Structure 1
Amino acid sequence: MENKTEHLLIKKMMAKSLGISVQAFDNWNVSPEFRQGRSTFYSVRSVLDNRINHVSNKLEEKQQRDPSTLDIDEERARLVAAQADKTELEVKLLKRESVKIEEVTHEWAEMIGNCRAKLLSIPTKIAPKLLGIDDISEAQQILKDAIFEALTELSDDVYTQDQEGT
């Protein structure tokens, strides 16, 4: 014959198995399966049912609540999460692990502007050199040299800016 308490736990053991205190378990108001002397026995099923009902009731309350009213605990949790996110971002900015998008946009716009100016100056600079040249390969080499010179100047500008910390 099967023992009546074989699949049941006393309150202290149930609380321990759930990783909570006996007082916290008492606050759950779980219905015991039965009492024997001073011991109260609980089934896992009754604990699960209690927790499922608790969560369901919370959800129903939340859905029925007027959306204009605030839940102070939810708002506090949102505030704490936002503060943590802000602090994390500030630390990343201080460690230079992250940058503001405005700074990146400004730097890229400046680099593109410099590149545009250098490339547009090539025809003006090179045209006089190409005037008397009949050999296409020589003209190509002059153009290629001018382009590489412009690219080198641009990369030197970027390197100099990095060294200055801008």
Structure 2
Amino acid sequence: MGDSHQPQQEYAHSIRLDGDIILGGLFPVHSRGERGVPCGELKKEKGIHRLEAMLFAIDLINKDPELLPNVTLGARILDTCSRDTYALEQSLTFVQALIERDGSDVRCSNGEPPIFAKPDKVVGVIGASASSVSIMVANILRLFKCMLGVEDGKRVSV
């Protein structure tokens, strides 16, 4: 990636790349986990390669001053762990910035009001390769008018 935009790993199943416009990504980087563990082994071909392709495309676009002048693309990429329910849970991350938070009736254990981290405002999501995952995620994103694009280029949710 370029010098100014290095992916930062927030936790094991997320990559964040800062930018003016944030694209979401949902990819099966890991296989299903067993016995209550959400994620298993790494999936190179259908997971890592798709993740790298998205990052590579963003990097190419950001390096070309004629494509999006004075605008930088960023990303928030999440691992579905090849599970539709986990993908649905992860997809809520994309709409957090659109949900107004009122912490007036919430208090921390020390009595102080909570401090909410400002989430990224994701304008669209790429990925969700399995039909079951795409349908579930599209239904959530549709509520927030966030588009989901799947690998064959068809738009699933607007």
Q: Shared fold (TM-score greater than 0.5)?
A: no
**Structure with the larger RCO, 1 or 2 (CA within 8 Å, 6+ apart):** 2
| Structure with greater strand share of residues | 2
| Structure with greater helix share of residues | 1
With normalisation by structure 2, the TM-score equals 0.23
Structure whose alpha-carbon radius of gyration is higher: 1
With normalisation by structure 1, the TM-score equals 0.22
